[in-house]
Amino acid sequence: MPRILPILPLFLFILVSNSFAEDADISQLFKGKNIRGTMVISSLDGATTYIHNNERAATRMLPASTFKIPNTLIALEEGVIGDEKQVLKWDGIDKGVAAWNKDQTLESAFRTSCIWFYQELARRVGKERYGEWLAKLQYGNGLAGPEMSNFWLEGDLRISAEEQIAFLKR
């Protein structure tokens, strides 16, 4: 993430300005920072879309941290957490990230991508209900498994960057 922060203001400028940025311009930003990846920027109505690395943008991969968006929505809809202020107690075991080593609310866990918090929500929701939600949300390949506590990090769930954008628009 820190390698992306220096170029974030440029992308925000592209999004809010009337200037035209071709794929080649975005590609140069990736090459200049020696970053292998993809980027999809699309207007809500889909009239304007910029893509860097078309092939990678269409390739399904683990959603990892980006899954906290549907994970949060599903947990709230299922009532496994009341609201953004409800506290889940930290078990006292060092999680490897200082910001995770404390009690968390949905608000704090979202901000820091606190894995243990989202793993607990996943256990509370359960595989069957996740399967139903992933199908309803048309989220990637919709596979919540095999392990409930990490299927978005190491499991079977896959989604492409293009599918992520379509999900966010819905």
Give the pLDDT band of residue 5 (cuts 50, 70, 90): very low
Higher-confidence residue of 14 and 54: namely 54
Give the pLDDT band of residue 23 (cuts 50, 70, 90): low
| Confidence (pLDDT) at 21 | 44
Q: What is the pLDDT of residues 60-80, one digit of tens each?
A: 999 999 999 999 999 999 999
Beta-bridged to residue 52, according to DSSP, are 39
| Confidence (pLDDT) at 146 | 87
81 pLDDT more than 60? yes
- Which residue reads 């390739």 in tokens? 59
Contact 160, 58 (CB under 8 A): yes
Specify the 3-state DSSP secondary structure of 88: strand
Sign of the dihedral through C-alpha 75, 167, 59, 30: negative
Strand ranges (E), 9-147: 39-42, 49-52, 87-88, 104-105
Domains of the chain: 5-57 (no CATH), 64-169 (3.40.710.10)
Cα 56 from Cα 10, distance rounded (Å)? 22
Instruction: Give pTM, 2 decimals.
Output: 0.80
Q: Is 46 left (phi over 0), alpha (psi -120 to 50) or beta?
A: left
Q: What is the pLDDT of residues 98-155, one digit of tens each?
A: 999 999 999 999 999 999 999 999 999 999 999 999 999 999 999 998 898 999 999 9
Specify the 3-state DSSP secondary structure of 92: coil
Q: Annotated catalytic residue: which of 17, 27, 42, 65?
A: 65
* C-alpha count within 13 angstroms, C-beta hemisphere, residue 100: 15
Residue 62 tokens, joined: 């683990």
In the residue annotation, 113 being an active-site residue is answered as no
Residue 66 tokens, joined: 């980006």
Residue 96 tokens, joined: 């490897």
Q: Is 122 exposed, middle or buried (0-12, 13-18, 19+ CB in 10 A)?
A: buried
Mean pLDDT is lowest, of 45-59, 77-91, 152-166, for: 45-59
